Structure 1
């Protein structure tokens, strides 16, 4: 559906990095007037809700430069060119936690910030986890700690804003509503 569509008149590419591209579009609004839109183009991402046999959720804690603090999150990462979300989910789970999953179930996908970005986040539930003997190495610029929390502990971390991002808040809410733990 394209209700209130804004037609692109011109696109100016501002920046192209390894994760995002930034552009400014001149658009014609539905009422005929013109405006500018600053847009971030993103290849998409995947996040995984890993549940252990002991009914604990595996989280990672890492420093997030835009926030200037560390937060606790579910494992996640961007889609590589030509990679399916399922492959990305397993890759990120293995790299960030040292586990792999026998069962991977897609839960949903959502746009993270549709006001300025086209990033589509796919969320998976990972169960029947197995610890890897030789986990893949983290990315060279990644430094993380692994935490295993109960749902009640995770809810407390949400309350204390140690869990403070949309995908991880979604994961905690999903697990509470589904009564899986």
Structure 2
């Protein structure tokens, strides 16, 4: 790796219930040193759930970091040592009440590699059975099914602003 940055020192800055922030001192490829602030994240999952042909579930949730409600596909963070597929099954059920007969992986990507190691696993789910919604106690979501035309309009108007959701919906559009 010609452009590898070797970590010389790690200074813990913050540790919360979901993330850790470290200040790293690194040796650059040219031998000089620099610093990097890195958010260490356990990873996350997201599920594009097609409840019937050409209808997907989106959840509307207030996101404090953005100070607004966003339309998103169901998603959540991985618990320690949790299998991403099991997490996807859990999150879909918690946020929408649906249980999928099958889930298939779509993508796996780093959300913002400039400052975090968060890796997101995106799944596609269909053959759904409706059940009871049971969100986490600090989670308030409204789930709703949207047609392909409604999703197209929401994407074109900028109503959907969440990156993981846009990526999954763009993938879904190619399956038409």
TM range, smaller chain = over 0.9
Q: Tell me whether 1:165 sits opposite 2:162 in the alignment.
A: yes
Shift in Å, 1:161? 2.4
The question of whether the paired residues in 1 share the 8 Å contact of 2:97 and 2:134 is answered with no
1:145 has 2:142 as partner: yes
Match of 1:86, SS state, is: helix
CA distance in structure 2 between the partners assigned to 1:31 and 1:3 by the alignment = 10
Q: How many Å apart are 1:3 and its aligned residue?
A: 3.2
Q: For residue 49 of structure 1, what is the aligned residue in structure 2?
A: 48
- How far has the Cα of 1:136 moved from its partner? 5.5
Distance 1:12 1:139, change over 3 A: same
**1:92 partnered with 2:91:** yes
Q: Deviations over 1:122-149 (max 9, x none)?
A: 01000000012xx352111111111111
Contact kept, 8 Å, 1:111 with 1:118, in 2: the verdict is: yes
Runs of 4+ aligned residues of structure 1 deviating over 6 Å after TM superposition are none
Shift of residue 152 of structure 1?
1.9
Tell me, what secondary structure is at the counterpart of 1:38?
strand
Query: Counterpart of 1:39?
Result: 38
Aligned to 1:67: 66
Cα offset, 1:54, TM superposition: 4.1
Match of 1:156 in 2: 153
Give the match for residue 9 of structure 2: 10
Write out per-residue CA displacement over residues 96-134 of structure 1, whole angstroms, 9 at most, x where no aligned residue.
0010000111112000000000000001000000012xx
Is 1:131 aligned with 2:125? Answer: no
Distance 2:61 2:32 in 1: 44
Contact 1:151 1:172 in 2 (8 A): no
What is the rounded CA distance, in whole Å, between the counterparts of 1:107 and 1:156 in structure 2?
Answer: 23
TM-fit CA distance, 1:52 = 1.2
Q: Distance in 1 between matches of 2:56 and 2:74?
A: 11
Unaligned runs of 5+ in 1: none
Q: What are structure 2's unaligned runs of at least 5 residues?
A: none
Q: Give me the CA root mean square deviation.
A: 1.1
Count of aligned pairs between the two proteins: 176
Q: What do residues 58-100 of structure 1 show as CA deviations (whole Å, max 9, x unaligned)?
A: 0000001010000100000000112100100000000000100
Residue aligned with 2:154, SS = helix
